[in-house]
Amino acid sequence: MARKPAKKQHFNVVIVGQSGRLGYEALLFVASLRHSCPDFAGRVLVAEPQPGDLWPNDPRMKDDVRQAIEALGAEILPFHSQHFGHAYAYGNKIELLSALPKGEPFVFFDSDTLVTGDLAKVPFDFDRPGASLRREGTWPNPPLYSVGYGEIWKSMYDRFGLDFESSLDLSEPDEYWQRYLYFNAGYFYYKCPHEFGARFLEYALSIKRDVPPQLACQSLDPWLDQVVLPLVIHSFGGGRDALPTGYLDGDTTCHYRVFPMLYARESAAVIETLETVAAPNKIKKVLKGYDPIKRNVYQGRGEKVRALFDQDNLPRREQMIRNRIKSEGFWMR
């Protein structure tokens, strides 16, 4: 008998949109999603922080950005910052989760992401959360002759009553950063945003307010969200193997981070997606309000950046790519 096609999953997609860069990136994200998976059945939510005591300026998007996003069928989802706000804007991805529909599976993406394939075909297991493995060993930075990776990470698992040993990748050597569970927070997902968000917030505030002594020499700004995320995912039974490779940060999405980096290292297909979704006049008129998009996408600076590198033989470390772009005067964010 012929196999029945897999049942399509229904889930919500959420990103952050606010004044400045994130609003324009949010517009590009939504445009790329509608282009790459026009039949996506879930809600597309652009979470927007609202004015309040933790924001010295109005964090809401400009009207033309908001209107362009809504014209693509996305919903603006207001939320209020209770703990982070301007002082730690990465906390938006933690606090917005309580504003999402309770009990409905969600996938969060950083706004500097493009959708390049069909999200409905990604085999999410929403009972086992996961996050992006496209990262480098950016945290912690153990001091010489003091606590190492193992002691630093174990101190946090112990604080929250989590099993540290089961989080380890024993195929990697002791005191090598990849032995320890570490994600980029560019995407993450779970079956309920309220459950995930409550634990994310609990762990983040605990570490922020009472730093374990093993972390005394470690920076938590901007790393707090990425430090806590592995603990949250492990606590819900997720891990490195929660999602098959090749989908997110692969054929289906691209977390480009900044536009010069996109042109320097991403595939021709990603650049084609970017330039295709940015081309319609109604979108172009809005995106030109953000100089890095205007210069890189519409005025050809991105192609000059791309010509600096052999995309089949890129420098191993991201910082080396950034430094070359900066030395040529092409860095913009």
pLDDT tens, position by position, 239-289: 999 999 999 999 999 999 999 999 999 999 999 999 999 999 999 999 999
Distances (CA, A) of 310 to 264, 306, 313: 9, 8, 5
pLDDT of residue 144: 83
* Distance linking the first and last C-alpha atoms of the chain: 54
pLDDT of residue 218: 95
Token pair belonging to 316 = 């191993």
pLDDT of residue 4: 43
Cα–Cα dist 326/63, whole Å: 32
pLDDT of residue 145: 79
- Please state, for a pLDDT cut of 90, what percent of the chain lies above it: 94
Per-residue pLDDT, averaged over 37-43, amounts to: 95
pLDDT digits (tens, 9 = 90+) for 218-238: 999 999 999 999 999 999 999
pLDDT of residue 7: 58
The residue with greater pLDDT, 212 or 145, is 212
Contacts of 116 (CB under 8 A, 6+ apart): 32, 36, 251, 252, 253, 254, 269, 270, 273
The residue with greater pLDDT, 240 or 9, is 240
Q: How far is CA 178 from the centre of its chain?
A: 19
Per-residue pLDDT, averaged over 16-24, amounts to: 97
* Overall pTM surpassing 0.75 (yes/no): yes
- Binning pLDDT at 50, 70 and 90, where does residue 8 land? low
- Binning pLDDT at 50, 70 and 90, where does residue 316 land? confident
pLDDT digits (tens, 9 = 90+) for 166-206: 999 999 999 999 999 999 999 999 999 999 999 999 999 99
Beta carbons of 46 and 75 less than 8 angstroms apart: yes
Beta carbons of 34 and 73 less than 8 angstroms apart: yes
- Binning pLDDT at 50, 70 and 90, where does residue 84 land? very high
Token pair belonging to 63 = 């009207």
The pLDDT mean for the chain works out to: 95
State yes or no: pLDDT of 96 exceeds 60. yes
Cα–Cα dist 109/89, whole Å: 15
State yes or no: pLDDT of 9 exceeds 90. no
- Binning pLDDT at 50, 70 and 90, where does residue 1 land? very low
Per-residue pLDDT, averaged over 100-119, amounts to: 98
pLDDT of residue 58: 97
